[in-house]
């Protein structure tokens, strides 16, 4: 479905003013949050956890290609942001479960359509470039 009236350029500005003013300044907190959330691995981890609680090794396998360092770093950041909850059980061998907080779940609900879009359009996009 085409939205645009002229040629094939999309216009219209459905962007709330306060949002625009709030996100673009360099030092604003939203930049930081966005960076964490849209980081290369952040998206994958949040998405994986949206399926439910998972262990470290599950996540490592799920987010194929992630290094242990980045997994640890990503999880720590998301935990500090209050999006992911860490539940370490004092057993041998150690077992740590990760899950989304309510806020993280809220976020993942917004992430899912984005990822779905990327998935659906990926082939087209990649084919388009030679």
75 binds DNA (CB under 7 A): yes
Q: Is the peptide bond before 93 cis (omega within 30 degrees of 0)?
A: yes
Q: 100 φ, ψ to 5°?
A: -85, 145
Residue 69 and residue 77: Cα distance in Å, rounded? 12
Helix (H, G, I), strand (E, B) or coil at 106: helix
Output the smallest distance, CB 54 to DNA, in A.
9
How many residues in the shown chain lie near a second copy by CB under 8 A? 78
Tokens of 109: 């609900």
Output the smallest distance, CB 70 to DNA, in A.
3
68 binds a second copy (CB under 8 A): no
The residue ranges that bind DNA (CB under 7 A) are 39-41, 55-57, 60, 65-70, 72-73, 75-76, 86, 88, 90, 92-96
């Amino acid at each position: 479905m085409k939205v645009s009236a002229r040629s094939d350029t999309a216009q219209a500005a459905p962007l709330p003013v306060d949002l625009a003013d709030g996100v673009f300044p360099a030092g604003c907190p939203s930049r930081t949050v966005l960076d964490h959330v849209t980081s290369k691995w952040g998206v994958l981890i949040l998405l994986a956890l949206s399926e439910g609680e998972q262990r470290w090794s599950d996540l490592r396998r799920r987010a194929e290609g992630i290094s242990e360092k980045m997994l640890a770093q990503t999880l720590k950041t998301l935990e500090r942001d209050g999006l992911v909850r860490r539940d370490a059980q004092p057993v041998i061998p150690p077992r740590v479960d990760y899950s989304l907080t309510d806020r993280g779940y809220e976020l993942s609900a917004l992430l899912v359509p984005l990822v779905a879009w990327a998935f659906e359009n990926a082939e087209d996009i990649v084919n388009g470039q030679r």
